[in-house]
Structure 1
C-alpha cells in the first residue's frame, strides 16, 4: 500500500516542459512572389543540387495560368534505355520544331499541327514537310549507334520535367509562412503560394502527337489533299464573358495555350547569390524597432480555435419567460456572467 504521506510524483508523459523560447518576427511584404516548390515523387535523399548532378537546367512559369515546370538532367549513362531515349528525344525535338511550345494542361491540351506541303496555295510555298514518326525515320538506327554524338546534337531525351500549378492564397484557406531561424529568433515570411510538382510525361504526348500527324498524312495520301477553296460564311455575334463551368474552363484553356512561358534563372543552393538572397529577404533586419504584435483573442479562445470548438458553445436550458440583457460594454470583465432579469 502506498504511503499517503509520500510526495506525489508526476508521470513523465504528463510533463511538458518548455525547452526553448524564440522571439518571433514577421518580415515585410516582398515585391517579388515567393513560392515553395514541393517535389511529391522525388525522394528527399536526392536533392536537386549541383552536388548530385541534378541541378535544374531550366525553370519556366506561366504567371497568369499559374503553371510551373522544372527541367532536371537525367543520367543517360546508367540504367538508361537508349532506343527509347532516342525515340522520345526525337519526338520532343520534332514537335517543338513545328511550334509546339507546351504539352498537356499547360498547353490547354492544344496541338500545333504543321502545314502540309502538298496543299496548294502561296502560303505553303517553302513550308517544311511534316515530320514522320521516329521509328520510321531512317536516322533512328544511326542515332542509337552513335548515342553520345546524338545526345550532344539534341536527339536524345536527357531531361526529366516536373510540373504543377500554383495554389495561391485566396483568403479562404490557411495562410502559409516560411520560417527561418537565427539564434533565438524566428522570422516568418508570408508565402504567395505552394506548387506541388509531379513528373510530367511530355515525351509521351509528343510521341502521340507525331502518331496523329502520321495518320493524317496516310489518310491524305490515300484520299488526296483537299484543295483550299473559298467558303461562304455568315457573320454571327456571340456573347462574351460566359459564366458557366464549361465556358469558364474553355476560356481558361484558350488563354493558357496563348500565354507564353517566362524563363527564370535558377541558382544552386550553394551559390553565393542564393545565400545573399536568403539573408536579405527572409530576415527582418531592424528587429529593435519592430512593432509589437497584439493578440485579438485570449488563451482560452485560442485553444478553442485550434481545437475546432470555437463558435460551438452548448446552449443552456432557459425558461421561456427569461429575458437576457445584452450589453455592448467593451470594459466588461472577462468571465462575468450576463445579467438575467
Structure 2
C-alpha cells in the first residue's frame, strides 16, 4: 500500500550569519502585486533609521499623473518647503518626538494640463507634494516571540537566514503637520519680527502623553516622555535604496543569503534523539490500550516491549 503522505524531496539545510541585520518591511495598505520598485514606477527615494529607538521611514514617489489633486499637492508641498522641519532635516510625529523639528517630503513634479503634461517653471515654479513617507518602528524581540527566517534555495541546498525584525510601515501625515504649523505661523503675523522668531523657536515642546495602566488606572508619563526625548534627540541614519532587480541587489543577495562554500561549514549534531524531541514539542502521549500510562511510563513500557520483556503490570495480572 502506497504511503498517503510520501516524501517527495529532501534538502540539506544551512544557517547563514546571524550577525547581519535583516529587516522585513510590510506595507499593510499595498497590494502584493504592486510593489514599491522601479518596475512599478515607485522605487523608494530614501530610507532612514534611528537604530537606538527603532524608528524607520521610507519615502516613496507619488504618482502625480493619476488621481492627483494639484491644488492640494501645491498646498502641502509649499507647507513642507516653508516649515522649519523641511530645513532642519528631522521627522514629524513620533519620529521627531511629536514636535515640529522634522523632515518634509516635497518635490518638483509634473502637473497634468489640458494639452498634456506641463512642468511649472520660471517664476511660477512651486513645490508640490511628490513623495509619501511611510513609517514604523522596530519591535524589540521578547522571550517567546517566534523566530522568522528567510529561505533561499540553491539546488538541493536550503539556506536559512534569521530575520532581525519585521517592520510594519504605515503612511505618515508629515505634510498635514507642516500645514498646521504654517497656519499657526500666519496667526502670529501681528507680532513683532523678533517676538515671532522667538515664538517659533520655542514652539517645539514635549507633549504630555498619558497611558492608563490596566491594573490601577494611574497615568504613566515619565517613561513615555523620556522615550519621546530619545526619539527626537537621535539623528537619522540614511541609506541608499537599491532596486531588487539591479545587479548590485543580486550581488548582495548572493553574499548575505547564500553560503558560497557550504562544504566548509561545520555540521550540527542533535543533542536529543527523535523520540525525546517529539515528547518535548508535543502534548503528552497516551497509549490507547492503557489510558493510565502516559509520557515517561508509556515510553518505558514500549522500550521493554521492544526488548522482548513483559511489563510489571503483565506479571501482576498473570
Q: Go from structure 1 to structure 2 and tell me whether the alpha carbon gap of 1:200 and 1:97 turns closer, same or farther (over 3 Å shift).
A: closer
Quick check: 1:83–1:144 contact (8 Å CA) kept in 2? no
Structure 2 counterpart of 1:128: none
Give, in angstroms, the shift of residue 55 of structure 1: 0.7
Counterpart among 200, 206, 214 of residue 186 in structure 2: 214
- TM-score, normalised with respect to structure 2: 0.70
Structure 2 counterpart of 1:16: 5
Aligned pair 1:41/2:29, yes or no? Answer: yes
Structure 2 counterpart of 1:234: none
Query: Higher strand share goes to which structure?
Result: 2
Structure 1 counterpart of 2:47: 59
Q: What SS does structure 2 have at the residue aligned with 1:206?
A: helix
Q: Go from structure 1 to structure 2 and tell me whether the alpha carbon gap of 1:112 and 1:185 turns closer, same or farther (over 3 Å shift).
A: closer
1:44-77 deviations in Å (ceiling 9; x for gaps)? 1111111211111111111111111111111111
Output the CA distance in 2 between the equivalents of 1:206 and 1:300: 62
Give, in angstroms, the shift of residue 206 of structure 1: 1.4
- TM-score, normalised with respect to structure 1: 0.66
Larger Rg over CA atoms = 1
Structure 2 counterpart of 1:166: 138
Output the CA distance in 2 between the equivalents of 1:204 and 1:211: 11
Q: How many residues align?
A: 264
The structure, 1 or 2, with the larger RCO (C-alpha pairs under 8 Å, 6+ apart) is 1
Counterpart among 179, 183, 186 of residue 151 in structure 2: 179
Q: What SS does structure 1 have at the residue aligned with 2:14?
A: strand
Structure 2 counterpart of 1:84: 72
Aligned pair 1:256/2:231, yes or no? Answer: yes
Considering only aligned residues, what root-mean-square deviation do their CA atoms show, in Å?
3.9
Counterpart among 136, 145, 156 of residue 128 in structure 2: 156
Q: What SS does structure 2 have at the residue aligned with 1:288?
A: helix
Q: Go from structure 1 to structure 2 and tell me whether the alpha carbon gap of 1:81 and 1:17 turns closer, same or farther (over 3 Å shift).
A: same
Q: What SS does structure 2 have at the residue aligned with 1:167?
A: coil
Q: Go from structure 1 to structure 2 and tell me whether the alpha carbon gap of 1:334 and 1:167 turns closer, same or farther (over 3 Å shift).
A: farther
Gaps of 5+ in 2: 103-110, 199-218, 286-290, 293-298, 305-311, 313-318
